[in-house]
């Protein structure tokens, strides 16, 4: 019997928050309708003001309040980032920040104690809400994450975080959190002094109510109470604060080359606000928030946030295509990549058979996996006891036994077509109908691999990036015959292991290497023209890449780049003809960091030291010449952007959105530029075409702008018209 909701029930159901009074305690329950997470939207702010008015009014026998979420996995994921798109002026942003601050200051000034009962993500405005409460209890769930990641969106905390966090945990600790955007699990948040208690999720509400009553009865003192209002005593020692801020600034400059305004603004706001009353510090925060929220950097990073969550949450398959669950996989080839794939899969709860020709080789792969985990535990990204639990999920073997139970098999053997063909045949002799057969090839067309398969519809490219545990992108490559359930299952597998998957259509180099190759080839050409190794790398890190192209050659391995370069030159001879530089380097036995001989010299610790001057004679350019940094940046940067547009034009990419995610997360395209397509929209297609034409004039046809770019320039079109 369908029940029709009364008008009040409908309104209540649609409300993002409601309050019930239980045993003299107000239980404020968050549950944003129609969204998988709770965010601080205008509706939530309004509804919370109504609740605070009721509590300020007293009269319901309420002695304390608990704020808890009814949504699994998130407490509050921060302000509604969607709203940032509507900011037209700095004043718009400042106003939104002031509104958030007003609400949380009102919460903080409630006469009764308030307890934040946190299970799931409490990020940005979510953590700021908790900081305005008297007491914080978090669960020990792995989904519970606390942090202020605003700088990753090109902004700063705007609802009091820059004032309340330093006053709670001190300057240095709060800077570490706010400048990195790192997210802490419950126990680490407790040891950092952010939360007062950590409890198992099932008893969260009971413990929160107990704490609320104990606070009301004066039986419990919030641990932060002693410190509230003044930074950690020691940090007030003359000069120490200045030292902390100077160090932090140096760290920001070396990491960002000053290309990201938010972290620098954050340091300024905190420094100027720390000695002021909270209200004055909040004013500084709101003003800075507004200014940053309308910067191009912030718009690009917000674009990337939504582009990456959308790529993560939707695969280009017909509606209703059901992915298979992936609980057990097998990896063939226990080298650096194979071991990495086994590690991230086991870390996500998947059991793994790691196979190699010989058992020793497979066992070596397992050791590599353990070493990776030990390093992560050292960086406190993992608890030591978890290492054994994870490696216990990986079984090293030289046999194909057990492969028939695998949901996915990933082939990660040496990049050689005939070898991959024989391995595919071997695997298929041991797997059933329902198993996805993925290849970690980085350049060989999947169509060519599927040609060796008796079930080509099961074959798909699963292109991981090195190092697998750090690189967030998984490039999934379908060939014309790949079945939709195989694509959907591969996408779901990628999301399950914490990767951001993009799905592209088969083509030499797929998307990532396709746009990286002409960029790298142009770098080699500039070396040949006499530009120095340092100038090249400095120009491109100065444009926002994490490392320069020459360093990247040594990192990837000159033999790998040489092999990939040849495959790509065959497919795109008009613009990817490799210069002889790499031939000569490889012929001279220079493979890069892996054998300590490349464009750079390496110390006994394997770390890069300086450019190896002897390279110039080897590549036949005794004379160096200086080149305008902007020209270097244009020749390399626009090569990549232009090629990206071609991949959309040709249908390799399903969307410009995926292109931006793939370029930033896979090959280090500068995030503050939003990706190649967002970059074109930012500077204008006409501007890019004009610069390419100028380069084409001077340096040849390889700079000819893609047709789609010329059309967009002519029609004034954008890849993201909604901006």
Interface positions with ligand T1G (CB under 6 A): 36-37, 39, 73-74, 77-82, 100, 121, 123-125, 128, 149-150, 153, 155, 157-159, 161, 306, 309-310, 312-313
Coil, helix or strand at residue 65: strand
Distance CA 436, CA 323 (A): 11
| Closer residue to ligand T1G (CB): 281 or 706 | 281
The CA dihedral of 280, 284, 286, 292, to the nearest 10 degrees, is -170
For 75, phi then psi, to 5°, come to -85, -75
Question: Cβ 46 to ligand T1G, closest distance in Å?
Answer: 16
Distance CA 513, CA 564 (A): 9
Residue position matching structure tokens 């795109």:
572
613 and 600 Cβ atoms separated by less than 8 Å: no
Residue position matching structure tokens 């360093």:
551
Of 617, 620, 611, 626, residue with least CA distance to 549: 611
| Closer residue to ligand T1G (CB): 334 or 474 | 474
| Closer residue to ligand T1G (CB): 84 or 669 | 84
Nearest residue to ligand T1G on Cβ basis: 124
CA distances (Å), origin 317, targets 400, 417, 472: 31, 28, 22
Question: Which tokens sit at 38?
Answer: 């709770």
DSSP H helices, 326-399, are 336-347, 359-378, 384-391
Question: Cβ 262 to ligand T1G, closest distance in Å?
Answer: 11
Of 619, 613, 477, residue with least CA distance to 558: 619
DSSP H helices, 545-628, are 549-556, 558-571, 580-587, 614-618
| Closer residue to ligand T1G (CB): 39 or 213 | 39
Tell me 257's DSSP state. Answer: T
| Closer residue to ligand T1G (CB): 153 or 476 | 153
Question: Cβ 311 to ligand T1G, closest distance in Å?
Answer: 9
Question: Which tokens sit at 407?
Answer: 């949901």
Conformation bin of residue 154: beta by default, left when phi > 0, alpha when psi is -120 to 50 = left
| Closer residue to ligand T1G (CB): 84 or 553 | 84
Residues recognised as catalytic: 475
| Closer residue to ligand T1G (CB): 98 or 458 | 98
> Mind spelling out the 3-state secondary structure of 198-244?
EECHHHHHHHHHHHHHHHHCCCCCCHHHHCCCCCCHHHHCCCHHHHH
Question: Cβ 515 to ligand T1G, closest distance in Å?
Answer: 25
Question: Cβ 121 to ligand T1G, closest distance in Å?
Answer: 4
| Closer residue to ligand T1G (CB): 74 or 642 | 74
| Closer residue to ligand T1G (CB): 39 or 110 | 39
Question: Cβ 152 to ligand T1G, closest distance in Å?
Answer: 7
Question: Which tokens sit at 505?
Answer: 């259509």
Question: Cβ 38 to ligand T1G, closest distance in Å?
Answer: 9
Question: Cβ 470 to ligand T1G, closest distance in Å?
Answer: 18
| Closer residue to ligand T1G (CB): 472 or 596 | 472
Distance CA 359, CA 366 (A): 10
Distance CA 241, CA 341 (A): 43
DSSP H helices, 529-557, are 533-541, 549-556
Of 168, 130, 375, 163, residue with least CA distance to 269: 163
Distance CA 424, CA 136 (A): 54
Strand bridging mode 328-332 / 408-411: parallel
Specify which residues 5 forms β-bridges with: none
The CA dihedral of 553, 554, 558, 564, to the nearest 10 degrees, is -40
Distance CA 435, CA 428 (A): 9
Question: Which tokens sit at 429?
Answer: 């002799």
CA distances (Å), origin 403, targets 330, 410, 523: 7, 11, 44
Question: Cβ 36 to ligand T1G, closest distance in Å?
Answer: 4
Coil, helix or strand at residue 83: helix
| Closer residue to ligand T1G (CB): 125 or 273 | 125
403 and 430 Cβ atoms separated by less than 8 Å: yes
Distance CA 91, CA 404 (A): 61
Residue position matching structure tokens 């590690």:
343
| Closer residue to ligand T1G (CB): 96 or 689 | 96
Question: Which tokens sit at 31?
Answer: 């549950």
Question: Cβ 88 to ligand T1G, closest distance in Å?
Answer: 17
Question: Cβ 128 to ligand T1G, closest distance in Å?
Answer: 6
Question: Cβ 41 to ligand T1G, closest distance in Å?
Answer: 8
27 and 19 Cβ atoms separated by less than 8 Å: yes
Instruction: Report the largest interatomic distance among the alpha carbons of the chain, rounded to a whole angstrom.
Output: 87
303 and 678 Cβ atoms separated by less than 8 Å: yes
| Closer residue to ligand T1G (CB): 181 or 546 | 181
Question: Cβ 148 to ligand T1G, closest distance in Å?
Answer: 7
């Amino acid at each position: 019997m369908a029940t029709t909701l009364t008008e009040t029930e409908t309104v209540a159901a649609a409300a993002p928050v409601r309050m019930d009074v239980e045993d003299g305690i107000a239980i404020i329950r968050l549950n944003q309708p129609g969204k998988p997470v709770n965010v601080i939207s205008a509706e939530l702010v309004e509804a919370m003001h109504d609740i605070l008015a009721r509590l300020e009014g007293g009269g319901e026998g309420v002695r304390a309040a608990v704020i808890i979420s009814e949504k699994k996995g998130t407490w509050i994921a921060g302000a509604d980032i969607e709203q940032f798109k509507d900011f037209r002026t700095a004043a718009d942003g400042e106003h939104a920040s002031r509104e958030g601050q007003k609400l949380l200051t009102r919460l903080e000034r409630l006469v009764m104690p308030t307890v934040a009962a946190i299970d799931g993500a409490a990020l940005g405005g979510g953590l700021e809400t908790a900081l305005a409460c008297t007491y914080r209890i978090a669960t020990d769930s792995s989904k519970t994450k606390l942090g202020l990641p605003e700088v990753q969106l090109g902004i700063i905390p705007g609802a009091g975080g820059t004032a309340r966090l330093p006053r709670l945990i001190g300057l240095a600790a709060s800077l570490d959190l706010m400048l990195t955007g790192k997210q802490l699990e419950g126990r680490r948040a407790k040891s950092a002094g952010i939360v007062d208690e950590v409890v198992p999720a099932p008893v969260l509400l009971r413990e929160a109510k107990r704490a609320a009553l104990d606070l009301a009865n004066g039986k419990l003192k919030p641990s932060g109470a002693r410190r509230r209002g003044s930074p950690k005593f020691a940090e007030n020692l003359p000069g120490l604060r200045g030292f902390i801020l100077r160090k932090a600034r140096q760290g920001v400059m070396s990491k960002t080359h000053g290309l990201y305004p938010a972290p620098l603004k954050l340091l300024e706001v905190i420094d100027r606000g720390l000695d002021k009353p909270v209200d004055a510090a909040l004013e500084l925060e709101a003003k800075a928030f507004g200014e940053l929220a309308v910067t191009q950097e912030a718009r690009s990073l917000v674009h990337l946030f939504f582009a990456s969550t959308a790529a993560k949450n939707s695969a280009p398959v017909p509606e209703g295509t059901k992915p298979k669950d992936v609980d057990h996989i097998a990896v063939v080839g226990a080298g650096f990549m194979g071991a990495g794939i086994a590690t991230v899969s086991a870390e996500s709860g998947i059991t793994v058979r790691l196979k190699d020709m010989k058992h020793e080789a497979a066992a070596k792969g397992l050791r590599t996996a353990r070493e990776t985990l030990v390093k992560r535990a050292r960086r406190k990204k993992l608890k030591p006891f978890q290492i054994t639990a994870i490696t216990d999920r990986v079984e090293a073997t030289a046999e194909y036994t057990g492969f028939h139970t695998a949901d996915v098999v990933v082939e990660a053997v040496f990049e050689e077509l005939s070898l991959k063909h024989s391995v595919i045949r071997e695997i298929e002799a041991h797997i059933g109908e329902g198993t996805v057969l993925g290849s970690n090839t980085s350049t060989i067309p999947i169509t060519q691999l599927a040609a060796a398969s008796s079930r080509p519809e099961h074959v798909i490219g699963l292109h991981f990036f090195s190092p697998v545990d750090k690189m967030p992108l998984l490039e999934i490559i379908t060939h014309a015959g790949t079945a939709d359930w195989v694509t959907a299952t591969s996408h779901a597998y990628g999301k399950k292991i914490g990767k951001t998957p993009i799905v592209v259509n088969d083509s030499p180099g797929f998307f990532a290497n396709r746009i990286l190759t002409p960029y790298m080839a142009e770098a080699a050409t500039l070396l040949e023209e006499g530009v120095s190794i340092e100038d090249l790398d400095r120009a491109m890190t100065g444009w926002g890449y994490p490392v320069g192209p020459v360093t990247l050659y040594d990192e990837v391995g000159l033999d790998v780049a040489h092999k990939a370069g040849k495959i790509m030159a065959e497919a795109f001879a008009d613009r990817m003809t490799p210069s002889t530089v790499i031939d000569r380097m490889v012929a001279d036995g220079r493979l890069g960091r892996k054998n300590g001989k490349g464009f750079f010299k390496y110390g006994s610790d394997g770390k890069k030291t300086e450019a190896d001057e002897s390279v110039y004679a080897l590549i036949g350019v005794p004379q160096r010449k200086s080149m305008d940094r902007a020209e270097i940046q244009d020749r390399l940067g626009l090569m990549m952007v232009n090629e990206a547009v071609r991949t959309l034009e040709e249908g390799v990419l399903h969307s410009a959105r995926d292109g931006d995610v793939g370029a930033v997360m896979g090959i280090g395209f500068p995030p503050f530029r939003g990706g190649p397509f967002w970059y074109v929209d930012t500077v204008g297609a006409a501007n890019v075409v004009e610069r390419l034409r100028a380069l084409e004039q001077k340096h040849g046809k390889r700079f000819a702008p893609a047709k789609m770019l010329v059309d967009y320039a002519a029609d004034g079109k954008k890849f993201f018209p909604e901006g």
